[in-house]
Structures are given as C-alpha cells and as structure tokens.
Amino acid sequence: MALMNPTALLYALLIGALVLIHFRRRSRTTVRVSNLQLWQAASQAREAQPMLERPRADWLLAVQVLFLAAVILALTRPVVWVRGAQPRTVVLVMDCSASMNARERGGTRFDLARAKARALVNQLGGEDRVLLVEARSRPTMRAYPGSERAALGRALEALRPSQAPSDINEAALLALASVPKGEPVEVLVFSDGTKDALVSDKALAGRVRYVQTGETDGNLAVTRLAVRSNPLSAYDSELFAELANLSSQPRECRLELRMEEAVLFDRTVSLAPREKKAYVAALPAGREGIIRAIIHADDEFDVDNQAYAVAGPRKFSVLLITEGNPFLEKGLQVNPRVVGSVAGPEDWTAASRERYDVVILDGFVPPVLPPANYLVLRHGQPAALLRGIREPALLRPEHPVTSLVDLSNVVIEQAVAVEVPPSGVALMSGGGQPLMVASEAGAFRTVEVGFDVRASNLPLTASFPVLLSNMLQWLGSSSPGESGQISAGTPLRWRVPAGACDGKAAVVPPGGTTVEVPVSDGIVAFERTDTTGVYEVRCGAAIQRTAVNLLNAAESDIRPAAPADDPAPLLSAPAQQARAGADLHGALLSVACLLWAAEWLYSSRRATRRPVRALPGT
Amino acid sequence: MIRNSAPGSSRELLRNHAHALDRLELVSRTPGSIPGVGRRRGSRTGSSVDFADYRKYNSGDDVRYVDWNIYARLRKLFLRQFRAESELAVHLLLDTSNSMDFGARNKLRFAADLAAALSYVALGRQDRVGLATFSDRLHHVLPPQRGSRHLPRILSLLESARAAGPSDLEHAFRAYPARASNRGLLVVLSDCFCAQGYQTALRCLAFAGFEVVVIRVLAEEELFPSFDEEAVELRDLEDAGAPGLTVGHEALERYRREMDTHSRTLAAFCSSQGVPFVQTTSSLTFEELTYRLLRAGIWRNR
C-alpha cells in the first residue's frame, strides 16, 4: 500500500488534540446534595482536580479517535498495489497533411491510416488512456485521456485530411506535453511517411512509433507558380510555372495556364523521373485576374495538380524620409508598383507612417520607431565607420531581398556594422561585419543597410534597382496576403486600407461560404487556409484576393520515405507489474461515516439513560 | 378549626384530611403522665368511669364509692376505685437544618405537614402538644399545651419554619429536656443526617424520660440519585464552604448501597433502644403516609 498524499498525516496531530481535550478536566455541573458524607464514602478519591483527568476506558473517545483516524487516512489517499496489466498511455497522431489524400488501393492513404488506428483502438484495454492528435498545419488535440471510447471513435471518424502540409513533430510534442512527465507513453504516428511527415525531433527520438501508410509514388505536381516582372520590361509581367515529375517513371501530361477563362499556355509536356521543368507565359499588360495552372494527368495525388495566382496586385505606398538622395528618389519613381512620397526629417511624425506600406529612413533614425515596415539606411558615425569595402559578400543569395542581385565590382567607401537582432538575418557583409540585415517583428519587417548608397557605386550598377525593388517588394508584402500567394495552412493576413471598413471584414474561402473576421490593428487575419484555392477578403469597398497553394515539392513527393512497417506489434504488451490499484479513500470515508453514526448513537444513548427509578413499595 | 389555608399549606392538608385524622390517635406505650381531663387513662386511680380495683374502706373515704353488693355478701366494706384520666404530652421536634431543604417535594415542608397532622391528632385526643424546631441548636420552642386554640400557634410556627444552619442532633437534643416541663411522647422529624452522629442524641432523649419516636424524612432524590452528565461536582447543602466532590456514574450504585446501609444501621440502633423508627419519603401521598404510620404503630384508629 502506498500513500498518495502523505502530508495529510500531519492531521494526525488532531488525534492528540482530541485526546488532550478529552482528558482535560471539564467544568463540572454543580449539584447540591443534602449530605455529602455518604457520597464521600461512595465515591473514589476525586477531590483532587488536576488539569488532566486520569485516563479511563471511554468508548466514546475510542470511537472518535477511530473516526478521526479514518478521515485522516482517507485524506492520505492510500492505494493498494496490485499486480496486473498496467494501463498504457497511447498517443495517436493522425497525419492530416495533403499527401494523405493520395489514392491507394482501398481508399485514400488517410482512410487506410484511420482503419489501422481504429483497429489499434479496439485492441486497447479498458483502462488504457488514449490521446488523439490531429496533425495539420496547427496540431489539435481531438481526444483526451479521459475521453470515452465512443467519443474517441467519433473523433477519429470526424478527421479529414487537409490540403496543406502538416507538422508531425509539433503534433507529437503537443501530445507528449499532455502526458504527465515520467509516465510511460507510446506515440504512434499514422502517416504516409513523406519527408515532411517524418518525425526527426531529438526529443521524440525513440519515443515515437511510425505507422506507415501508402505505397504509390506516381505523382506530377505544380511546384511553383508566380507572377513576376518581365526582366526585359519593368512594366510587363509574366507567369512562371514549374512542373515536377516526382515519380520513378517518366510521365507525360498536359499543362494548361489560364487567366480567368483565357488560355495562356496549353502544352503537353514530358518529364523524366525526378525531373522539373519551368514554363513562362507572358501576361497581358495591365490585366488583373485569377491565374490557374492545371495539370491534366492521371496521377494518385490531385491537390498539387492545380495552382493559383493573382495577377495585378496593388501598388505599394512608400514614404522616403531623406535630406536629399537622388538615387533613392529615382529608384522609387521608376518602379511601376510603387507610389512614392518624399519628405524631410523635419516632416517626420509618428502618425505619418500609418498611411504608407513602407517607410525609407535615409540617414535619419527617430528616437522611437513606431510599428511599420522600414528600410533604414544608416550613414553611421565616423568612429564606427568601415572604410574601403570592396565587393561585399551576399550571405543569403536566395533571400527575396538579395535575389538576382550581383555585387561584383561594388565598392563602398564607408559603412557601419549593422547589429543583427534575434529575429533577423544578415544578408550582406563587408569587412567582416554585417552590412545588411533583414528582420521581422510581428506583422512588420525591417531592412537595415549599414551604408549610404551615395557613398558607394551601388546605384551605378544594374543591381541597384533590382535590390531596391526586392526590398520594397519584401517589405511591402510583410503581410503574406499582400504578395497575392501563400502556402496552404499559412495564416492569411492583410493590412486593410485605413478607413476601409469598421472593424469587420468578410473572408470568402474557395468553398464560397463567407466567414466574418474582425479587423485588429488594421490587419485581417484568417487562419483556416487548409484548402487550396483563391480566398477573397472584403473590407468595405476594398477587396484583396489571395491564392492559397500547396506548391510544396516535399509534400507532393508522396513516395514513402520511411522504412516498411516494423513486424513487431504496434503496441507493447501491457506490463504485468505492481501498480496502484484500488483507491481506499472511499472505503475509509464510508468507515468514517459508520463510526460517526456509532458515535452519535452512543452519545445520544448515554445522554438519555439512567432515569429516576420509582420508590419500591409506593 | 382550620381556616385561611393557603394552597399546599399544612392548613389545607388538615382541612382536606380532617375526617381521616379525626379517627386516629397517637399510640403511646406509657400512660399519660399529666393528670387532668385528658382522654387517656393515667397510671393512678381517679375519677373516671373505668373501673380499676377494690380496696378496703378506710375512715374518711367517700361512702359513695362503697360497693354495697360486696358488703351484703361479705359484711365487709370495700371501695370501688376508678382509673384516673390523664393527658399525654406530645413533643414534636422538627429538624430545620439546611439538609431538610431538599427534594423535588421539599422535605421540610413534608415534615411540617406531618407535624401538623400529628398535632391535629394529638390535640383531638386532648393531649398536650409541644413543638420545637432545631438545626444545630433549638430555635423555637412551643411548650406542650392542650386545646384547639393551640393548633393555630403550632401551624404558624410550622409555616414560618425555614431551613437554616447545619445539623447537630446531640447539641439540640441535649438542650430540649431542660426546656420541656413534661415528659411524654417525643417525635423526632428529621433526616438524621448529622456529621456528629445520631446515637448519642437519641440516647439523651430516652435518658431524659421521653418515649422517643423517630420519623425519618428523606427525598426520593436522596434514595435514588441520578444525573445526566458524565460526572458532577457535589456540594453539601449544610456546608457551603466545604470543597466539592466530583463523582461519576460509577459512584451512584455505591451511594445507594451506602444509603441503604445507613438506613439499616439507624433502624437497628432505634430497635436496640426500643425507639420506633419509620422512614418516609417526601414523595408519599397523605394516604400512603397514613398507612405507613399505622403499620409502624405511630398512630392507630380509635
């Protein structure tokens, strides 16, 4: 037997107090008698009245002590150890990623995984605890350890695969966090074993059992679709699409690119195994609309056979605070997607940034920066200057800010090292110090440059307008929805124009059911983007359309990457060992109730006994 | 004879039970010691209608008592003698110590009623009745007198009697013979609880020439005490300054045995001294009391 709450034994001091109170001399009822002599002869020596009376047998005290002992023992929560099957805690992590929609023999991969999970639940004992975690882009607990099996079954049947990637690791960690520390737990991940679904977290190593579902690998996918500026004409746009054959066999399909109902591209393409091909189509100038890339192929996974894009996103409003910088002013003027304004440092107010998507601070940094998207160009103090930097290095060429930027032959006369914040990344370095840093804080982005462009030959190179355009594009699209395209499962956010609506916006998902969402701090946030398609956000007269695509080569690669199923049983045999069995506190409380009743009966009987007897013979 | 009686008083008792009391008379083993007009036969010859004896005629004797029939047969003169009428002096000693102020039905009031009844019966037989109250000493003494006009004085004294002081039988009984001019029947009405004992006191009265009768008055609570508490602290009514005595239920049975022993010892002593002894309880009704005294020979039907 063990005590689950041994500190309750401290209440045993009450027993000592009870005994002391019992033996403490009580104030007696005084009775006057006609003659004390006979009483003195009849009574024992009780004249001495010490503080404590002589202990004597008292059933009432015994019952009271037993009652108190029973209550205290119940408070300690005693349990008896019994040998038997120890209840297991099993966590079922159901992968609801897009790849689970892939067709297999007998249904989709998710149907097969659910059948395996259902069979496993039926094998569990009645005392086993089961957690059900739905692994989507954001994992959700669907059944808790205390849930009934029927509720668990209903929750399992209610699960549906999404059209977005999932985070298996986070789902498994969430499940483990729900289990008391130190308690043995078996985590079973029902997944198709695509690369993203593999559990690779160190904290989960050795604690997760992988239940693979899926065998097919024949899939063609649209892995990229983007509307970008025509490199030959800044005023024209073109459509860029990338196809991938993710199967082990050569495949052929028909690729169709449409803008609304107009067909921009329609061609049958052949792809070798693991081959990717990019296709470009010119977009009509000045037109806006929904663009779709469609693969007409007979593969096992449909979600990635279509991709969407929105042509003609709105222009950015940019405020340039400078004492005069012709390069920056010119760069803003030539960018067709930018509506620029120029002001001097003396015109800066905290409120002025609210009307602009991006604020450029050229050699001017106010003491307090209110939340906004900033491009900060530090001219630096002479004491901290780095001088004569030749050909600074691009640290992250793939970053949207430095994409397609070439810094060859660039010379920076003087610069200052930029501090890298925890949420920032250094994009450019020179003289061993970071010269350009991009960072994100909440919904806003900042690019900090450690030199004055006028003190370098960068504005004279072809990379300058590209770099400036990248910066403004990245800063202006800090809200993913504003770039016109987000990945499925990523929250859709859109900073609504000031005064466009009063606190509420309407989101129309691809299904067509309008959802009303609040506008908080001028931003509309919508998280249920697990379905691919075009989402339309309406805020008064303002309308923002955002394409939600899978566009995830790893998710589209539906080849099972995990090893085949382990022949060992999914669940370990329940341990036959001593474990906490029956909790005795209920029985002890029952005993305490009986003792209490006995005490009441005994005391009431003692109070009513010894009536005055009649005089014999009268 | 009895007027202005308050409810529950001795006067009311006498008024309610006068018819029964009129048929009773006190029993005395000794003849009346007071010559007079009483209805008791004296130990001497006198002028009553009860024939006692003959004696030879002496000169000077009243010739009216010569029995002429005997003279006719024997030719000798004999005088007829008659019992002389005498009166009995009845002394009532009422214990008014604090211990008598006890009981659901007060022992002192019960004893006073009993004394009133005895007085009524004795006065009805033309006996002289005296009353004295005592505790550790004599308090009030009414000398024995005869006649119906004496009864109100007795009743007044009984009704004014209040319990006060400890009990000391010997001291009081030693003082009483000196205050009593006549000997006769002496009835002690007491609970006989006395720290100094009762033996010497009763011997004193007997030695002084009284025909002593002891009527012990107890309360029901004294015979069968009980209490609800586990233990109580007892205080002596006659000694408020004495330390209390804490007793529990276990002492009740022993007390009853002690009380029984005390009663038996008292009865045995009285028997050894030729003193009639009756133990009563204040809870007795009048009829029960009358029957008990009849059985004890304290009084009898006329």
Helix, strand, or coil (residue A167): coil
CA distance, residue B147 to nearest chain A CA (Å): 35
Q: What is the pLDDT of residue B191?
A: 93
Residues B78 and B28 in one domain: no
Q: How many residues does chain B have?
A: 302
For residue B3, pLDDT beyond 50: no
Detail the DSSP E strand segments found in A402-476.
411-416, 424-430, 433-441, 444-449
CA A291 from centroid of its chain's CA atoms: 31
Number of compact structural domains in chain B:
2
Per-residue pLDDT tens digits for A327-336: 999 888 887 7
Q: What is the pLDDT of residue A90?
A: 87
Domain ranges of chain A: 2-81+583-608, 85-215, 220-313, 316-476, 489-549
Tokens of B88: 């009995």
Per-residue pLDDT tens digits for A132-170: 999 988 888 888 777 778 888 899 999 999 999 888 888
Edge-to-edge strand order for the sheet containing A306-311?
A: A262-271, A251-259, A289-296, A306-311
Strands A251-259 and A289-296: antiparallel
Query: In this complex, do A33 and B222 lie within 8 Å of one another by their Cβ atoms?
Result: yes
Query: In this complex, do B283 and A615 lie within 8 Å of one another by their Cβ atoms?
Result: yes
Per-residue pLDDT tens digits for A478-520: 544 445 778 888 888 777 776 777 788 999 999 878 999 988 8
Residues B216 and B75 in one domain: no
Detail the DSSP E strand segments found in A276-363.
276-282, 289-296, 306-311, 316-321, 338-343, 358-362
**Same fold yes or no, A220-313 and A316-476:** no
CA distance, residue B181 to nearest chain A CA (Å): 33
By Cβ distance, the residue of B226, B245, B259 closest to A40 is B245
CB atoms within 10 A of CB A403: 15
Query: In this complex, do A615 and B228 lie within 8 Å of one another by their Cβ atoms?
Result: no
Buried b (16+ CB within 10 A) or exposed e, A465-504: bbbbbbbbbbbbbbbbbbbbbbbbbbebbbbbbeebbeee
| Listed residue (A527, A462, A458, A518) closest to A488, CA to CA | A527
Final residue of a structural domain among B86, B104, B126:
B86
| Listed residue (A84, A333, A93, A49) closest to A211, CA to CA | A93
Q: Which CATH class is domain A489-549?
A: mainly beta
- Identify the closest residue of chain B to A40 by CA–CA distance: B245
Query: What amino acid is encoded at B137 in this protein?
Result: R
DSSP secondary structure code for residue A399 in this structure:
S
By Cβ distance, the residue of A42, A46, A610 closest to B254 is A42
CA distance, residue A606 to nearest chain B CA (Å): 8
By Cβ distance, the residue of B99, B251, B252 closest to A34 is B99
| Listed residue (A463, A502, A495) closest to A358, CA to CA | A495
Residues B123 and B267 in one domain: yes
Measured CA to CA, the distance from residue B302 to residue B296 in angstroms comes to 16
For residue A297, pLDDT beyond 80: yes
Residues B82 and B147 in one domain: no
CA distance, residue A603 to nearest chain B CA (Å): 11
By Cβ distance, the residue of A34, A46, A606 closest to B246 is A46
- Asked if A150 and A109 count as a contact pair (C-beta separation under 8 A), the reply is no
Cα–Cα distance list, B238 to B100, B255, B257 (Å): 9, 18, 22
> DSSP of A472-491, one letter per residue?
HHHHHT-SGGGGTEEETTSP
Q: How confident is the model at residue A120 (pLDDT cuts 50, 70, 90)?
A: confident
Q: Which chain A residues touch B228 with a CB distance below 8 Å? A: 607, 610
Query: In this complex, do B281 and A39 lie within 8 Å of one another by their Cβ atoms?
Result: no
For residue A612, pLDDT beyond 50: no
Helix, strand, or coil (residue A499): coil
Query: In this complex, do A615 and B252 lie within 8 Å of one another by their Cβ atoms?
Result: no
Q: What is the pLDDT of residue B135?
A: 93
DSSP secondary structure code for residue B66 in this structure:
B
Q: How confident is the model at residue A437 (pLDDT cuts 50, 70, 90)?
A: very high
Helix, strand, or coil (residue A93): strand
Residues B160 and B287 in one domain: yes
For residue A569, pLDDT beyond 80: no
Q: What is the pLDDT of residue A614?
A: 34
The CA radius of gyration of chain A, in Å to the nearest whole number, is 39
Sequence-distant (≥ 6) Cβ neighbours of residue B289 within 8 angstroms: B114, B117, B280
Q: What is the pLDDT of residue B260?
A: 92
- Domain A85-215 grouped into CATH 3.40.50.410: yes
Cα–Cα distance list, B17 to B20, B113, B123, B130, B300 (Å): 5, 11, 15, 21, 15
Measured CA to CA, the distance from residue B1 to residue A601 in angstroms comes to 60
> DSSP of A191-213, one letter per residue?
E---GGGS---GGGTTTEEEEE-
> DSSP of A20-78, one letter per residue?
HHHHBPPPPEEEEES-SHHHHHHS-S-----SBPPP---HHHHHHHHHHHHHHHHHT-E
Per-residue pLDDT tens digits for A445-491: 899 999 988 889 999 988 898 898 888 888 876 544 445 778 888 88
CA distance, residue B243 to nearest chain A CA (Å): 8
Q: Which domain holds residue B109?
A: 10-33+88-301
Residues B109 and B192 in one domain: yes
Strands B185-190 and B138-145: unpaired
Measured CA to CA, the distance from residue B190 to residue B111 in angstroms comes to 8
By Cβ distance, the residue of B226, B254, B262 closest to A612 is B226
| Listed residue (A473, A38, A193) closest to B223, CA to CA | A38
- Identify the closest residue of chain B to A608 by CA–CA distance: B228
| Listed residue (A378, A450, A464, A461) closest to A417, CA to CA | A450
CATH architecture for residues A220-313: Sandwich (2.60)
Query: In this complex, do B225 and A33 lie within 8 Å of one another by their Cβ atoms?
Result: yes
- Minimum mean pLDDT among A544-553, B163-172, B240-249: which range? B240-249
CB atoms within 10 A of CB A575: 13
Residues B56 and B145 in one domain: no
Query: In this complex, do A33 and B236 lie within 8 Å of one another by their Cβ atoms?
Result: yes
Residue B2 lies in a domain: no
- Which helix (H) or strand (E) is A120 found in, with range? helix A109-123
Q: How confident is the model at residue B63 (pLDDT cuts 50, 70, 90)?
A: confident
CA A455 from centroid of its chain's CA atoms: 45
CA A237 from centroid of its chain's CA atoms: 37
Q: Which chain A residues touch B219 with a CB distance below 8 Å? A: 34
Sequence-distant (≥ 6) Cβ neighbours of residue A69 within 8 angstroms: A12, A15
Measured CA to CA, the distance from residue B171 to residue B182 in angstroms comes to 20
Mean pLDDT is highest, among A92-106, A134-148, A230-244, for A92-106
Residues B135 and B269 in one domain: yes
> Would you tell me the crossing angle of helices B107-124 and B10-21 to the nearest 10 degrees?
40
Residue in this structure with the two tokens 């006073």, named with its chain if needed: B112
**Angle in degrees, CA B114, B116, B118, rounded to 5:** 70
CA distance, residue A595 to nearest chain B CA (Å): 21
- Asked if B40 and B143 count as a contact pair (C-beta separation under 8 A), the reply is no
Q: What is the pLDDT of residue A221?
A: 92
B95-102 average pLDDT score: 92
Q: What is the pLDDT of residue B214?
A: 94
| Percent of chain A whose pLDDT exceeds 70 | 83
- More confident position, B111 or A234: B111
By Cβ distance, the residue of B230, B239, B251 closest to A43 is B251
B168-195 average pLDDT score: 90
Detail the DSSP E strand segments found in A128-275.
129-135, 140-143, 185-191, 208-212, 220-230, 233-245, 251-259, 262-271
Residues B65 and B113 in one domain: no
Which residue intervals of A271-362 are DSSP H helices? 326-334
Q: How many residues does chain A have?
A: 618
Query: In this complex, do A31 and B191 lie within 8 Å of one another by their Cβ atoms?
Result: no
For residue A180, pLDDT beyond 70: yes
Averaged confidence pLDDT in chain A:
81
Q: What is the pLDDT of residue B2?
A: 43
Q: What is the pLDDT of residue A616?
A: 34
Per-residue pLDDT tens digits for B4-53: 444 557 888 888 888 889 988 888 877 655 555 555 655 556 666 677 78
Q: Which residues of A touch B (CB under 8 A)?
A: 26, 28-44, 46-47, 49, 606-607, 610-613, 615, 618
Q: Which chain B residues touch A26 with a CB distance below 8 Å? A: 231
| Percent of chain A whose pLDDT exceeds 90 | 16
Residues B112 and B192 in one domain: yes
Measured CA to CA, the distance from residue B144 to residue B129 in angstroms comes to 4
Residues B76 and B148 in one domain: no
Give the CB-side neighbour count of residue B184, counting CA atoms within 13 A.
Answer: 28
A343-359 average pLDDT score: 79
Q: What is the CATH number of the domain that holds B206?
A: 3.40.50.410
> Would you tell me the crossing angle of helices B286-296 and B107-124 to the nearest 10 degrees?
60
A259-275 average pLDDT score: 89
Q: What is the pLDDT of residue A222?
A: 92
- More confident position, B162 or B33: B162
A193-214 average pLDDT score: 70
Q: How confident is the model at residue A27 (pLDDT cuts 50, 70, 90)?
A: low
Q: Which CATH number fits domain A316-476: 3.30.43.10, 3.40.50.880, 3.90.1150.10, 3.40.50.720?
A: 3.40.50.880
Q: What is the pLDDT of residue A313?
A: 56
Measured CA to CA, the distance from residue A243 to residue A324 in angstroms comes to 47
| Percent of chain B whose pLDDT exceeds 90 | 42
- Minimum mean pLDDT among A166-180, A501-515, B284-298: which range? A166-180
Q: Which chain B residues touch A39 with a CB distance below 8 Å? A: 234, 245, 247, 251, 255, 258
Measured CA to CA, the distance from residue A102 to residue A220 in angstroms comes to 12
Tokens of B9: 């008083």
Query: In this complex, do A33 and B281 lie within 8 Å of one another by their Cβ atoms?
Result: no
Q: How confident is the model at residue B162 (pLDDT cuts 50, 70, 90)?
A: very high
Cα–Cα distance list, A176 to A118, A156, A180 (Å): 21, 19, 8
- Minimum mean pLDDT among A72-86, A149-163, A417-431: which range? A72-86
By Cβ distance, the residue of B99, B229, B252 closest to A29 is B229
Q: Count of A–B CB contacts within 8 Å?
A: 119
By Cβ distance, the residue of B226, B242, B262 closest to A38 is B262
Measured CA to CA, the distance from residue A250 to residue A369 in angstroms comes to 55
- Asked if B155 and B166 count as a contact pair (C-beta separation under 8 A), the reply is no
Query: In this complex, do B226 and A41 lie within 8 Å of one another by their Cβ atoms?
Result: no
Residue B1 lies in a domain: no
H helix and E strand count, chain A: 10, 35
Q: How confident is the model at residue A558 (pLDDT cuts 50, 70, 90)?
A: confident
Query: In this complex, do B224 and A612 lie within 8 Å of one another by their Cβ atoms?
Result: yes
Residues B233 and B189 in one domain: yes
Q: What is the pLDDT of residue A483?
A: 55
Which residue intervals of chain B are DSSP H helices? 10-21, 68-74, 107-124, 150-160, 169-179, 199-207, 220-223, 250-272, 286-296
